[in-house]
């Protein structure tokens, strides 16, 4: 029947009357939620039902490294690193964060972490002893990121590795006032250049997609000391 047929309004009314209780709308919503759940499952659980389990399994294949965690905060990452590292030095300038990190390590039974209250720009640690330096979301808090990268290079053995996790440039002013960020994220190319100038080679950039409605996007840079 052509859409211009005068009986169409009546047919539409009948169709709407069939959904007087909103069943069709509920069905549409149910299917949307089911799709969301499937997408979430794929993201969090596959492969083999758990990305987390795979990450843990792969970490057991790593050699026992001597690691420095720059700006460890409350130590979540330090404790994860300590599961497979030979030893970890968890460094932060905030005594209160280090206290929480200590408590976390104790609860997890991690005995291979030492804690150091110090400024990342100039660390009281010897040169060329570390296998890995991890800097996760700390560079945007420091006055001179390039100086901190140079300090990381100083601590590393030749061919020692660095992993930097940072925020892409953003416009969220509240993090400056409320969280004390000194940098509103970084252009990856700028940090890549600073890594190279600090003495790192084979720098690899890995972007990560935006999480839900978050205004922040993170990225990873890895490299090796020249
Ligand atoms: C956002 S937290 C990162 C915590 C942890 N690395 C993570 O990824 O969850 C940043 C930490 O860097 C520390 N920090 C900032 N500037 C520092 C500096 N110049 N020297 C030492 N620690 C610093 C802060 O005290 C804070 O605990």
- Nearest atom in ligand 1 to the alpha carbon of residue 119 is 20
Spatial contact of 121 and 142, defined as CB atoms under 8 Å apart? yes
- Nearest atom in ligand 1 to the alpha carbon of residue 165 is 8
Indicate the pTM of the whole model: 0.82
Residue 3: inside a domain: no
Residues 163, 87 share a domain: yes
Mean pLDDT of the chain: 90
Q: Which domain holds residue 14?
A: 8-44
**pLDDT-based confidence at 22, cuts 50/70/90?**
confident
Looking up residue 183, the CATH number of its domain turns out to be 3.40.50.150
Residues 116, 18 share a domain: no
For 165, 182, 186, 207, the CA distances from 216, given in Å and listed in that order, are: 12, 15, 11, 12
Tell which one of 71, 147, 220 to mutate to probe ligand 1, the residue whose CB is within 8 A of the most ligand atoms.
71
Note the pLDDT of residue 50: 79
Spatial contact of 172 and 201, defined as CB atoms under 8 Å apart? no
Span 125-183, pLDDT tens digits: 999 999 999 999 999 999 999 999 999 999 999 999 999 999 999 999 999 889 999 99
Average pLDDT over residues 67-84: 97
Q: Ligand 1 centroid vs 2 CA: distance in angstroms?
A: 68
Note the pLDDT of residue 20: 65
Residues 80, 35 share a domain: no
* Beta-carbon count within 10 A of 16 CB: 10
Count the domains in the chain. 2
pLDDT exceeds cutoff 80 at 35: no
pLDDT exceeds cutoff 70 at 17: no
Residue 138: inside a domain: yes
- Nearest atom in ligand 1 to the alpha carbon of residue 94 is 25
Residues 159, 86 share a domain: yes
Span 90-108, pLDDT tens digits: 999 999 999 999 999 999 9
Note the pLDDT of residue 211: 64
Spatial contact of 212 and 187, defined as CB atoms under 8 Å apart? no
**pLDDT-based confidence at 112, cuts 50/70/90?**
very high
Note the pLDDT of residue 150: 98
Residues 142, 39 share a domain: no
């Amino acid at each position: 029947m052509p859409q211009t047929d005068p009986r169409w309004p009546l047919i539409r009314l009948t169709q709407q009357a069939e959904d007087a209780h909103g069943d069709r709308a509920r069905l549409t919503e149910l299917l949307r939620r089911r799709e969301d759940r499937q997408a979430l499952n794929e993201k969090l659980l596959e492969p083999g039902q758990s990305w987390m389990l795979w990450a843990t399994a792969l970490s057991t294949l790593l050699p026992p490294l001597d690691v420095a965690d720059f700006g460890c905060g409350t130590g979540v990452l330090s404790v994860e690193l300590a599961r497979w590292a030979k030893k970890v030095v968890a460094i932060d300038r905030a005594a209160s964060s280090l206290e929480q990190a200590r408590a976390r390590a104790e609860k997890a039974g991690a005995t291979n972490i030492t804690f150091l209250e110090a400024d990342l720009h100039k660390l009281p640690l010897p040169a060329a002893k570390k296998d890995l330096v991890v800097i996760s979301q700390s560079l945007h808090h420091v006055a001179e990121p390039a100086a901190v990268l140079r300090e990381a290079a100083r601590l590393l053995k030749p061919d020692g590795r660095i992993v930097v996790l940072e925020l892409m440039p953003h416009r969220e002013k509240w993090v400056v006032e409320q969280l004390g960020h000194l940098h509103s994220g970084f252009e990856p190319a700028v940090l890549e250049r600073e890594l190279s100038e600090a003495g790192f080679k084979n720098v690899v950039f890995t972007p990560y997609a935006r999480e839900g409605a978050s205004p922040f996007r993170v990225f990873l840079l890895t490299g090796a000391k020249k």
